[in-house]
Amino acid sequence: MISHFVDGKPWTGGSVRQGEVYDPATGRLTGHVPLASAADVAVAVDAASRAARAWRDASLAKRGAVMFAFREIVNARRDRLAAAITAEHGKVLADAAGEVQRGLEVIEYACGIPSLQRGAFSENVSTEVDSYSLRQPLGVVAVISPFNFPVMVPLWFVPIAIACGNAVVLKPSEKDPSAPTLLAEWFAEAGLPDGVFNIVHGDKEAVDALLESPAVRAVSFVGSTPVARYVYQRGTMAGKRVQALGGAKNHMVVLPDADLDLAADAAVSAGFGSAGERCMAISVVVAVEPVADDLVSRIATRVAEVRTGDGRRAGCDMGPLVTGAHRDRVTSYVEAGIAAGATAVVDGRGVEPAGERDGFWLGPTLFDHVTPDMSIYTDEIFGPVLSVVRVASYDEALALVNSSEYGNGTAIFTNDGGAARRFQHEVEVGMVGVNVPIPVPMAYFSFGGWKASLFGDTHAHGRDGVHFFTRGKVVTSRWLDPRHGGVNLGFPTQS
């Protein structure tokens, strides 16, 4: 049984509800995860509240030192963390290692907290009066994360929240809970005081309890759009600061002058990496004619070479889907695409995986002649299904991208700098790649989409992260001024 982690140690909690955890590559049940009750969440929030009172007073040097120690531990054990991800998520080990690396980069960013949390000082804003700004922690903050990046997404938020002086309650996905639990153990080993980082496992009941808890001041959520919208609305109604990152449908535009081999490599890597279970996966290629026939043929050749199998086996490029239910849902979209008249250039349903028969397999699927009314175009499938839409011009491509409900990531492939510049200016999407298919910002920039891909106004990590996990205070102070001006009911002005 996987445990919660509360007040510095593993904890079983009081709830009798449990979830099942699977190895997606074998289809075997590998463990159970407790599903916290509201009472369990209250215990974790209480522990965090007690810890937050002392942690906010820990020096920047102390907070930075803990973060450095944590960085060293995660770096030394990155292979163990990657193996824990693959065992419950299914992504291939190299991909899991990449996820750990991107998470490490946020830890490294948080090590710079002494300069990140620095305020500003202005001398003599009035005669012998000084003003200075501070950024102070919020108290207890909650992080709620999805299954597809069980380590990286928690690490987008947790290191920055803690470095800023907050205490955190993390509610990871119940589908792959083991890897994030390792992070809590390792933070404790790094010297983080008990209660500053807590994990409660669970589902909607735990999420609702966090959203309702008056002690939780802010919520960072990542998951599907319907749940992101719900968390944003309910959390803000309860008076909390909320950032809720949602789903995506990312388009890659290929202009006629693009390097088609580069574009085809990129489409396959970004479409089928992590079996398409990435919020930055490319799910739609927008081919601007006359290149579609040539581009589809180059993509199809590459898709045929993608090896689907157990992520722990050498030579596999793409693992299984996370659960049997999710595999069946994605398969139903393949059926819907065929029924709607799209051309299945490659059909992943007949895949012969390098792995056990009962794994949650679906091979890469490539559709051509997809139109915007088809469900394979409109819906976030979150699986290895790549659609090609053919358009006549750049303007038609741009209009298509901008008409999407989502605005997480996009890319343009071209050799025309002017067209690329026009696209980055005109496209209504938060993260844009130019000849880069998965433009995930580095830790020192901020990650976030537009429209239904993000509710709230603050993106994850980078300066936005520090801003989200702190609140501003400005102090105006006067010392040693001998000139008492007497009572004055007027509004203060400089003199």
Mask 82-121, x = binds ligand NAD (CB under 6 A)? Answer: ----------------------------------------
Q: Are 255 and 419 in contact (CB under 8 A)?
A: yes
Q: For ligand NAD, which stretch binds (CB under 6 A), given 65-73, 98-106, 121-129, 203-211?
A: 203-211
Q: Is 279 a catalytic residue?
A: yes
Least separation in angstroms between CB 17 and ligand NAD: 13
Residue 247 to residue 451: CA distance in whole angstroms = 10
Phi/psi class of residue 437: alpha, beta or left (left: φ > 0; alpha: ψ in -120 to 50)?
alpha
Nearer to ligand NAD, 78 or 171 (CB): 171
Paired strand residues for 169: 142, 198
Q: What angle do CA 439, 444, 450 make, to 5 degrees?
A: 50
Residue 223 as a binder of ligand NAD (CB under 6 A): the answer is: yes
Interaction residues for ligand NAD, span 250-279 (CB under 6 A): 279
Residue 247 found at the interface with ligand NAD (CB under 6 A): yes
When the beta carbons of 173 and 213 are compared against ligand NAD, the nearer one is 173
Stretch near ligand NAD under the rule CB under 6 A, chosen from 51-59, 141-149, 330-338, 467-475? 141-149
Q: Does residue 149 bind ligand NAD (CB under 6 A)?
A: yes
Closest to ligand NAD by CB, 193 or 449: 449
Q: Does 316 bind ligand NAD (CB under 6 A)?
A: no
380 is a site residue for ligand NAD (CB under 6 A):
yes
Out of 220, 404, 453, 470, point to the residue binding ligand NAD (CB under 6 A): 453
Picking from 207, 142, 204, 203, the residue whose alpha carbon sits closest to that of residue 174 is 203
Quickly count: other Cβ atoms within 10 Å of residue 150's Cβ: 29
**Close Cβ partners of 460 (under 8 Å, ≥ 6 residues apart):** 156, 157, 220, 222, 243, 245, 446, 447, 448
Buried residues in 19-34 as b, exposed as e (16+ CB within 10 A): bebbbbbbbeeebebb
Per-residue buried b or exposed e for 454-488, using 16+ beta carbons within 10 Å of the residue's own CB: bbbebbbbbebbbbbbbeeeeeeeeeeeeeeeeee
Map the footprint of ligand NAD across residues 394-433, applying CB under 6 A: 408
Number of residues in contact with ligand NAD under rule CB under 6 A: 28
Measure the CA–CA gap between 211 and 188, rounded to whole angstroms: 26
* Residues 65, 63: Cα–Cα separation, whole Å: 5
Nearer to ligand NAD, 9 or 204 (CB): 204
Question: Shortest approach of ligand NAD to residue 467 CB, angstroms?
Answer: 18
Q: Using the minimum distance from each CB to ligand NAD, give the nearer residue, 278 or 302.
A: 278
277 Cβ contact partners less than 8 Å away, ≥ 6 residues apart: 89, 91, 147, 148, 321, 322, 382, 383
Compare residues 367 and 406 and give the one whose CB is closer to ligand NAD.
406
165 binds ligand NAD (CB under 6 A): no
Which listed range, 127-135, 138-146, 327-335, 474-482, lies at the site for ligand NAD (CB under 6 A)? 138-146
Q: Which stretch binds ligand NAD (CB under 6 A): 245-253, 283-291, 333-341, 481-489?
A: 245-253
Sheet holding 216-222: strands in order across? 9-11, 4-6, 197-199, 167-171, 140-144, 216-222, 241-245, 454-455
The site for ligand NAD (CB under 6 A) is made up of: 144-149, 153, 171, 173-174, 203-204, 207, 222-224, 227, 230, 245-248, 279, 380, 382, 408, 449, 453
Catalytic residues: 279
